[in-house]
Amino acid sequence: MTAVVTLTPAPVLDRTYLVDSFAEGKVNRAYEVHEYMSGKGLNVARTLHLARVSVAGILPIGREDEHLLFRTPYPHILRIVPIAGRVRVNTTVVDRGGRTTNINQTAIPMTVSDWGRVCDLAIEQVEETDADWLVVSGVHPTTAETGEHVDMTALFEAVRGRGTRVALDTSGAPLDKWVRSGLVNLIKPNADELANLVGRNLFTIEDAMVAGRELNALGIEVALVSLGVDGALAITADEAHWGRAVATEVVNTTGAGDATLAGFLAHSIVDGAGASPAERSQLTLADALGYACSWGALAVSLPTTLITSFDTAPEPTVSEPEPDRPLREPTHLLA
């Protein structure tokens, strides 16, 4: 079994308020508050560590906020790059009915020099751990000098040049760019993101499969597509599987996609060690998808993005996709 290196380009301080009910424009009382360092790549890293996968989590942290790392579970898995500025703050309000309201701060711009140091550390960790995967997860900040999103080209080329695969979980313009770059092996879009990548709404399981295959044709080895209440699809050029798992209750949907990705990667590595990259992606596709769905369903049953045990993870079902099955949650193209 090898390792995973995760990179969170724009980490965040997460504040989660649990309320009985939420009234917009009114004073609301929280009966419980959680605050901890977070970000999609960090969530993936913590979940992989809990599953006993060797993992290092790269975090660029504002020099004024390094003290926040003392509030983070498993700080020993973190590899920190001190940078200028402060960490952004995301606020989540969760009511007892499971409705989640998110207020997410825009990623803070980063200097080209700081971003270069982040990439250097990521490459160093990939080489040091002989990582099977580099996971880049979350919002991509812009550069302070140009206003353009940070450039991943040198990073992706360096790690792929040594045989490490790249998994990408982001959205918007960066997702559209890197899907078409030929430098990414796996993406984890939700249904809306997939629809926007192919420029049309999706109405059935078959629509999602066809869209996923279009991404395979662009060089994406695996499209791991979250479909909300309709489960998830794992799509390669040669096969596709449909997975579902039912949560015991829906408490907080934030972080479910991170748990899904962690479940898929953890079990691809464990079951596929010793195989070639092409063999790994196909050998374990259905099993890895099952764990992805199970961990994703577990995540939505928890009040925060912190998973502390897999004991209550629901049993998944993985089968051949039902092409004509309508999606219960319609997709929405961005204007």
Ordered by where they begin, the domains of the chain are: 3-319 (3.40.1190.20)
Q: Is the dihedral of CA 189, 193, 194, 198 positive or negative?
A: negative
Q: Please tell me the predicted confidence (pLDDT) of residue 277.
A: 52
Q: Please tell me the predicted confidence (pLDDT) of residue 71.
A: 73
Give mean pLDDT, residues 5-16: 93
Q: Answer whether residue 168 shows pLDDT above 60.
A: yes
Percent of the chain exceeding pLDDT 70 equals: 95
Q: Are strands 54-62 and 30-38 parallel, antiparallel or unpaired?
A: unpaired
Q: Please tell me the predicted confidence (pLDDT) of residue 70.
A: 74
pLDDT band at 276 (very low <50, low <70, confident <90, very high): low
Joined tokens for residue 22? 């939420």
170, HSE (Cβ side, Cα atoms, 13 Å):
27
Nearest Cα to 66, choosing from 51, 53, 45, 83?
A: 83
Give mean pLDDT, residues 73-94: 90
Q: Answer whether residue 272 shows pLDDT above 50.
A: no
CB 31 within 8 A of CB 57: no
Give mean pLDDT, residues 41-47: 95
Cα(84)–Cα(236) distance, rounded to whole angstroms?
A: 41
pLDDT band at 269 (very low <50, low <70, confident <90, very high): low
Question: Mind listing the pLDDT tens digit for each residue in 63-74?
Answer: 888 777 777 889
Collect all residues with Cβ–Cβ distance below 8 Å to 97 and sequence separation of at least 6.
Answer: 21
Q: Answer whether residue 302 shows pLDDT above 60.
A: yes
Give mean pLDDT, residues 307-313: 93
Cα 230 to Cα 99, 189, 190, 260: the distances in Å are: 18, 14, 11, 14
Q: Answer whether residue 1 shows pLDDT above 80.
A: no
Q: Please tell me the predicted confidence (pLDDT) of residue 174.
A: 97
The larger pLDDT score, comparing residue 93 to residue 99, is at 93
Q: Are strands 88-95 and 240-244 parallel, antiparallel or unpaired?
A: unpaired
Q: Please tell me the predicted confidence (pLDDT) of residue 252.
A: 80
Q: Answer whether residue 278 shows pLDDT above 90.
A: no
Question: Mind listing the pLDDT tens digit for each residue in 137-154?
Answer: 999 999 999 999 999 999
Q: Please tell me the predicted confidence (pLDDT) of residue 271.
A: 47
Q: Please tell me the predicted confidence (pLDDT) of residue 330.
A: 82
Q: Please tell me the predicted confidence (pLDDT) of residue 275.
A: 52
Question: Mind listing the pLDDT tens digit for each residue in 15-34?
Answer: 999 999 999 999 999 999 98
Question: Mind listing the pLDDT tens digit for each residue in 196-208?
Answer: 999 999 999 999 9
